[in-house]
Amino acid sequence: MKEPLYALLSTAIEALRAAGNLPADLAAPAIALERTKTREHGDFASNVAMALAKAAKTNPRALAQQIVAALPASEAITKVEIAGPGFINFFLTDAAWQAEVARVLADGQRYGRSDAGKGVRAGVEYVSANPTGPLHVGHGRAAAIGDTLARLLAATGWEVAREFYYNDAGAQIDNLARSVQARCKGVFPGDAGWPEDGYRGDYILDIARNYLLGKPAQEGSAVVSASHDPNDLDAIRRYAVAALRAEQNADLAAFGVSFDVFFLESSLYADGKVEQTVAALKAGGHTYEQDGALWLRSTDFGDDKDRVMRKSDGSYTYFVPDVAYHYSKWQRGYVRAITELGADHHGTLARVKAGLQALEKGIPKDWPQYVLHQMVTVMRGGEEVKISKRAGSYLTLRDLIEEAGRDATRWFLVARKPDSQLVFDIDLARSQSNDNPVYYVQYAHARVCSLLRQAGEKGLTYDQGNGIAHLSRLDAATEVALMIEISRYPEVVAAAAAQLEPQALAQYLRELAAAFHGFYHAQPILGTDDAALRDARLALAVATRQVLANGLDLMGVSAPEAM
């Protein structure tokens, strides 16, 4: 809806420039155009006159009057007003909203998609769980947010690669191996000889049993055999990692989440990427030796203090492979890189960015972009649900999916801003009521499908072409309100992708569903003998169904035809 208004304003500004009313060398600003909070002030407002006034050395309100006078005529606009210090307010005709409904019906699944990214490569990394146990609810929030962001970026033209970074090296993996080894030897949590920070869940016992039985662990196309030897710690390590990667992949499949790239932290060491990164930082003069350790001068690049890269025992701190890994993303052509992490990783962001800047490879200062999510509290029956017998100390993603369903789980984990705390109410997620947002939105989609079925059962033929031809009949308040709400969808998708705010899509779909339910209850859609009006209202309902389906698909949530 904004595109024609942008064009009109651009034409008016160029006309003023050509007439000498604006300096010929005046740089045209990006034209801001926003929907108004209330239609009393128009449908859209622009502050372009205020943005230009200072450089043009004129009063913003006077310049607004000149711009309005220079606007070409448009059938989509009923009037234009100047408000306050120089806002230009546009009032659109009902025909403009009706034309957007026709566009939805013509574009179908393409409606709301754009080429803003223009095929440029973007990498979205999310979940990236250590292969030390089943995925927990926090990983589920990362999966839902990351997958929705990837879908939004793809819908706006980016060439998206979905990436999972496996932390399959370091102390946690050693702890996993020793925990499985202890179980293989009959040592239980609490016994003498149990690792100090050993993993206690029943899944450790399952892995140990399968290893001793010689049952192969299969992760994708790779098969890791079991040696049966409880003393072969390296074999146990390989087997346990493969078994848990397979389990995590099964969890993700149950959640409808897939990846294009699985990147192993261990490969950074095996391929020499960590050593190469350290060598490049040393060669650039950005490191120094102190107390037997190698330090990065990260304060030169905005960090609050310098960071140890290589400890006195010769091992690397965990941010060094992170720098090497993100540099590999840059080498792989990710013009835009988004990393979704839990908020507990906040402290690592500055040092990773400092390391990337210190490489002096032309990487932008704001690259990569981070999306951090807060913790999830799961409630059932008014009480917090904390643990799973299988995991031992936390609630697994699979537990939540089995209790609340995949659709509700995905919706609830995305619907709030990532950096806000989230309370997941299982009872609400399971309820079939208007208080349950995913049910409310899905029911709107199913209700349209029901209307079409009822029309057939009553012998009424829906003629979409006839409906489109008579959209001008739709001038009731609830009809216009629904058409306006539909027209917001492309803007919501574009903004959610650009600003990395997937929750905005969930909020919009709920508002669209509310507008549809209001229209449904106010207008007799099938209860009129006027075939042209009936087809027009059905066309509006079908357009609503299409937008709901398109938006739900971007959230990875189904659009049922019956409920």
Is 442 within a domain?
yes
- C-alpha dihedral (434, 438, 444, 447), degrees to nearest 10: -90
| Closest alpha carbon to 463 in 521, 546, 533, 549 | 533
| Residues 162 and 189 both lie in one domain | yes
User: Can you give the CATH number for the domain in which 460 is found?
Assistant: 1.10.730.10
Same structural domain, 136 and 189: yes
Residues 509 and 552: beta-carbon distance below 8 Å? yes
Which residues fall within 8 angstroms of residue 349, CB to CB, at 6 or more apart? 370
Q: What pLDDT shows up at residue 30?
A: 72
Residue 389 and residue 307 share a domain? no
Q: Where do we find the tokens 């192969």?
A: 216
Decide: helix, strand or coil at residue 340: strand
- Three-state DSSP state, 271: coil
342: region left, alpha or beta (phi > 0 left; psi from -120 to 50 alpha): beta
Q: Are residues 225 and 289 in the same domain?
A: no
Q: What is the DSSP string of 446-479?
A: HHHHHHHHHHHHTTPPP-HHHHHHTGGG--SHHH
Domain match, 88 and 29 both: yes
Q: How far apart are CA 334 and CA 123, in angstroms?
A: 6
CATH no. for residue 83?
3.30.1360.70
Q: How far apart are the first and last CA of the chain?
A: 33
Helix pair 273-283, 346-358: axis angle to 10 deg: 60
Q: List, as one string, the DSSP characters of 195-251.
A: -TT---SHHHHHHHHHHHHTPPEEETTEEE-----TT-HHHHHHHHHHHHHHHHHHH
Specify if 392 maps to a domain. Answer: yes
Q: Which two tokens stand for residue 470?
A: 């008579």
Do 35 and 138 have their domain in common? no
Q: Are residues 528 and 410 in the same domain?
A: no
* Rounded CA separation 87/31 (Å): 12
Please report the pLDDT score of residue 168 as a whole number: 83
Cβ partners under 8 Å of residue 491, min gap 6: 1, 2, 35
Residue 121 lies in a domain: no
Looking at the domain assignment, is residue 102 inside a domain? no
Same structural domain for residues 150 and 255?
A: yes
Residue 117 inside a domain? The answer is no
What pLDDT is attached to residue 54? 85
- Quote the number of domains for the chain: 4
* 542 lies in some domain: yes
Neighbours of 275 (CB within 10 A): 14
Which tokens in the block code for residue 233?
A: 């710690």
What is residue 352's predicted lDDT score, i.e. its pLDDT?
Answer: 95
Q: Which of 430, 455, 470 is the last residue of a domain?
A: 430
Query: Are both 464 and 362 inside the same structural domain?
Result: no
At residue 391, the pLDDT reads 67
Q: Give CA angle at 228 (225, 233), nearest 5°.
A: 85
Q: Is 333 helix (H, G, I), strand (E, B) or coil?
A: coil
- Both 30 and 166 in one domain: the answer is no
**According to the model, what pLDDT value does residue 228 have?**
86
118 falls within a domain: no
Q: Let me know if residue 106 belongs to a domain.
A: no
371 CB burial (10 A radius; 0-12, 13-18, 19+): buried
Does 388 share its domain with 283?
A: no
The answer on 349 and 416 residing in a single domain is no
| Residue 83 belongs to domain spanning | 2-92
From first to last of its 563 residues, the chain has per-residue pLDDT tens of 888 999 999 999 989 988 888 887 776 667 889 999 888 889 999 999 998 888 888 899 999 999 999 999 999 999 999 999 999 999 999 999 999 999 999 999 999 999 988 889 999 999 999 889 999 999 999 999 999 999 999 999 999 999 999 888 778 899 999 999 999 999 999 899 999 889 988 999 999 999 999 999 987 777 888 888 999 999 999 999 999 999 999 999 999 999 999 999 989 999 999 999 999 999 999 999 999 999 999 999 989 999 999 999 999 998 999 999 999 999 999 999 999 999 988 888 999 999 999 999 999 999 999 999 999 999 999 999 987 666 677 889 999 999 999 999 999 999 999 999 999 999 999 999 999 999 999 999 999 999 999 999 999 999 999 999 999 999 999 999 999 999 999 999 999 999 999 999 999 999 999 999 999 999 999 999 999 999 999 999 999 999 999 999 999 999 999 99
